[in-house]
Amino acid sequence: MFTLLKKSYKVILLYNCDVELGEFQLFALKFFQFLYRLGAKNIMINLIGEGKLAYSIKGQETAQFVEIKLSISPKGINKFIDFLNLDQNIIRYYTLKI
């Protein structure tokens, strides 16, 4: 979709632990498809696992940690961030340019 110069990013998601593994796999597929439509390349989604948070975030003490690595244009990553804001199961996310 976007043909600008692609940059490498890492996105760390803190996902609600109440989501079952099968349901999470559907979310991962949804993320992958959306990123692919935005023109992302080298998409890698890694479920790191459940961990205790240092402090409570949105009433959650634990979260599933998910790492997404990809190459995408700056406009594409902004669209993906807007997409993440729509997902009620994401407690918090961090986007790093690498």
CA distances from 56 to 48, 81, 91, 92 (A): 19, 22, 10, 11
Mean pLDDT score across all residues of the chain: 91
Q: Return the CATH fold of 7-97.
A: Alpha-Beta Plaits (3.30.70)
Whose CA is closest to 39, among 1, 67, 70?
1
* Beta strand segments in the chain, E: 7-16, 41-57, 60-72, 90-97
Rounded Cα–Cα distance for residues 37 and 42 (Å): 13
Q: Sketch the domain layout of the chain as residue ranges.
A: 7-97
How do residues 44-69 score in pLDDT, each as one tens digit? Answer: 999 998 999 999 999 999 999 999 99
Asked whether the predicted pLDDT for residue 4 surpasses 80, the reply is: no
Bridge partners, 94 (sequence order): 12
How do residues 66-96 score in pLDDT, each as one tens digit? Answer: 999 999 999 999 999 999 999 888 999 999 9
The pTM (predicted TM-score) of the whole model is 0.89
